[in-house]
C-alpha cells in the first residue's frame, strides 16, 4: 500500500506528465481548483466518486485512489519557519499582519476564530500595468468562543 506522501508525489508527477493544470483536474473532480489542489496535495478527503475521477484522469493505481479517501493528517508544513520563498512570504504576512487580522476580526465579530474547516478560497491573477498581482480571497465561518 502506498503512503499518502507517495500518493501526493505520484499525483504531482502525473499532473506534470499529462500537462494538466489544477482547473483541469478540478473540473473532473467537481470542486474548485483551490480545494482540489489541497485535496490532491494531501490536505482534504475525497469522496469515492471524486477519488475515482481523479484516479482515472491521472492514471493512479487502485491503492492511491483508496488513499485519497482516507482522512489525512492535516498540516503539510514543517514546524520550523518555512524556507520555501513563496510559503515563507505567507509566514511573513501572518507574522506582520496576524495581530491586525486578530484585532479587526475580534472588533467586528467578537472573541472567536475564523474557521479553516468551513472555509472557501479563490486565487486569481490580477492584471496590473506595474506587474501582475496575486489576488487571494479567503472566507471562513466565524466561530465564537463559548462561555461555560
Q: Are strands 133-144 and 112-126 parallel, antiparallel or unpaired?
A: antiparallel
**Contact at 8 Å (CB) between 138 and 120?**
yes
**139 an active-site residue?**
no
**133 an active-site residue?**
no
Cα separation, 25 vs 17, in Å, equals 13
Of the residues 92, 124, 135, 139, which is catalytic? 92
- DSSP secondary structure, 89-125, as one string: HHHHHHHHHHHHHHHHHHHHH-SEEEEEEEEEEEEEE
**Contact at 8 Å (CB) between 62 and 7?**
no
Cα separation, 6 vs 23, in Å, equals 22
Of the residues 76, 103, 115, 139, which is catalytic? 115
Of the residues 76, 89, 135, 139, which is catalytic? 89
User: ∠ CA 35-37-42 to the nearest 5 degrees?
Assistant: 95
**115 an active-site residue?**
yes
Active-site positions read 89, 92, 115
Amino acid at each position: 500500500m502506498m503512503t499518502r506522501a507517495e500518493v501526493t508525489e505520484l499525483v504531482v508527477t502525473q499532473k506534470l506528465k499529462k500537462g494538466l493544470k489544477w482547473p483541469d483536474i478540478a473540473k473532473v473532480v467537481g470542486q474548485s481548483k483551490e480545494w482540489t489542489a489541497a485535496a490532491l496535495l494531501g490536505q482534504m478527503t475525497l469522496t469515492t466518486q471524486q477519488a475515482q475521477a481523479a484516479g482515472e484522469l491521472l492514471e493512479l493505481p487502485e491503492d492511491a485512489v483508496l488513499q485519497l479517501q482516507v482522512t489525512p493528517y492535516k498540516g503539510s508544513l514543517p514546524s520550523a519557519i518555512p524556507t520555501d520563498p513563496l510559503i515563507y512570504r505567507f509566514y511573513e504576512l501572518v507574522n506582520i499582519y496576524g495581530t491586525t487580522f486578530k484585532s479587526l476580526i475580534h472588533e467586528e465579530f467578537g472573541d472567536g476564530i475564523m474557521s479553516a474547516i468551513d472555509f472557501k478560497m479563490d486565487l486569481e491573477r490580477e492584471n496590473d500595468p506595474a506587474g501582475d498581482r496575486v489576488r487571494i480571497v479567503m472566507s471562513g465561518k466565524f466561530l465564537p468562543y463559548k462561555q461555560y
